[in-house]
Amino acid sequence: MALPLHTIKDQFPIFKNRPELVYLDSAATSHKPDSVILALNDFSEKENASVHRGLYDLSTDATRRFENVRKKVSDLLGVSNPSSIAFTKGTTESINLIAHGLIRKKLKLGDTIAVTAMEHHANFIPWQQLCHQRGALLNILPVTKNGELNLSGIDSMLGPRTRLLCLTHISNVLGTINPIEEIISIAHRKKIPVLIDAAQSTGHYPMMVDSWDADFVVFSAHKMFGPFGTGVLYAKQEFAPYIEPLNFGGGAIRNVTTEHTEFLDYPYKLEPGTPHVAGVIGLGAAIDFIQQLDLAETSLFTRNLTQKFKARLHELGGARILGQPSNFGSIVSFQMENIHPHDVASFLAQANIAVRAGHHCAQPLLESMGVPATVRVSFSIYNTEQDIDKTIDALAALKRFWSR
């Protein structure tokens, strides 16, 4: 029996401490439920120990719980092998590990990396810079004015020298849900591996990584009710032996001599130094929380809120929504006529409504759509229809204020 959504907000203490808060920026970071905060505190209060080191109970317990989170992550992602899960600092580090720990050494002059125009900078800049460094070409799959990937050119874009295709599951600006299964299958027909940026989808949408046959999947805990500074890299087993660490240090080794170091296998070789143990335990608690939800229900719930908000914006008038993707999640970007997004965000902030304004770390996307900045609203399971009412009321007040 899934947790009922109409009372779920009670589990997020931020709203007890700030009852007036209308939080519409979950795409930037989500709030944390009691259970995650408790797990983080409990670990520090009762179990604090490093992992893979001590021979005493505290450390063995911490190690067991830490390792158990790999299983929780693999279950959440729909992956059969927990050893395919490496812990990182977040999505950005996970992507850089693949860029510089794997792709770099096989990327030759004139090879190409394929990305899409709707990537977050985290899944764009590492590839752009790697291409600069290696004399490779960055191919960018364009976005239609509806805010969907223009798949008509994908076949010609992916060639024999394409070493990797990187794309986001859900756009952090437009909310577009990309047909990743179809795209992965197109790429695989040409033997091109695919990296999926799942920062906006993990924990919010049902994930079936094994069945999608994705080669790499990356995400951050803090966007899915978990702690900051903790993320995940999933790599398909066939690539795991070839991913080289970018950071070196203790814990990730099998044997060290004065001349040579023999590293542990994936994923341990990528986790040198004392890891963020509490962060990983917190990620585990976030997954436990998510496993009590019905993700098909929650994703429909946030989609409905988004759909209602779009309709109310339309009724309000003077708002232009960026893109009209047919398959969208819990995110919408818009502009108010003659009012800059920052001024909109400042105005909403005065009414205790938290939204994001700017380019949302996706400048190439905004540029391709001819827009310098937008206001972004993103919904999560703790949002309500009252949040929409308050936001629309505040936008109506903003329009009056601006036309006085």
Q: Which range touches another protein (CB under 8 A), out of 104-112, 235-243, 245-253, 337-345?
A: 337-345
- In the bound state with another protein, the residue whose beta carbon lies nearer, of 300 and 349, is 349
Q: Which residues are catalytic?
A: 361
Q: Does 347 bind another protein (CB under 8 A)?
A: yes
Interactions with another protein, residue window 353-372 (CB under 8 A): 357-359, 363, 366, 372
Q: Does 340 bind another protein (CB under 8 A)?
A: yes
Q: Does 234 bind another protein (CB under 8 A)?
A: no
How far apart (Å, rounded) are the C-alpha atoms in residues 210 and 79?
A: 5
**Stretch (H or E) spanning 157:** helix 154-157
* CA–CA distances in Å: residue 68 to residues 1, 2, 71, 202, 326: 24, 23, 5, 18, 38
Q: Does 342 bind another protein (CB under 8 A)?
A: yes
* CA–CA distances in Å: residue 364 to residues 105, 116, 142: 27, 10, 10
- Minimum CB distance to another protein, residue 82 (Å): 39
- Minimum CB distance to another protein, residue 323 (Å): 17
- Minimum CB distance to another protein, residue 25 (Å): 14
Q: Does 399 bind another protein (CB under 8 A)?
A: no
- Cα end-to-end span (Å), the chain: 52
Identify the DSSP state of 339. B
How far apart (Å, rounded) are the C-alpha atoms in residues 315 and 37?
A: 40
Q: Does 303 bind another protein (CB under 8 A)?
A: no
How many residues touch another protein under the rule CB under 8 A: the total is 16
Are the C-beta atoms of residues 204 and 378 closer than 8 Å to each other?
A: no
Q: Phi first, then psi: what are they for 103, rounded to 5°?
A: -70, -40
How far apart (Å, rounded) are the C-alpha atoms in residues 373 and 357?
A: 7
Are the C-beta atoms of residues 290 and 76 closer than 8 Å to each other?
A: yes
Q: Does 320 bind another protein (CB under 8 A)?
A: no
* CA–CA distances in Å: residue 194 to residues 191, 260, 374: 10, 33, 29
- Selected from 343, 352, 354, 392, the binder of another protein by CB under 8 A is 343
x/- contact string, 369-388, with another protein (CB under 8 A)?
---xx---------------
The full length of the chain comes to 404
Angle at 58 between CA 264 and CA 62, to 5 degrees: 45
- In the bound state with another protein, the residue whose beta carbon lies nearer, of 219 and 347, is 347
Q: Does 243 bind another protein (CB under 8 A)?
A: no
Residue corresponding to tokens 């047919």:
326
- Minimum CB distance to another protein, residue 29 (Å): 16
- Minimum CB distance to another protein, residue 172 (Å): 15
- Minimum CB distance to another protein, residue 347 (Å): 6
Q: Which range touches another protein (CB under 8 A), out of 92-100, 126-134, 170-178, 333-341?
A: 333-341
Give residues in contact with another protein (CB under 8 A): 339-343, 346-347, 350, 357-359, 363, 366, 372-373, 401
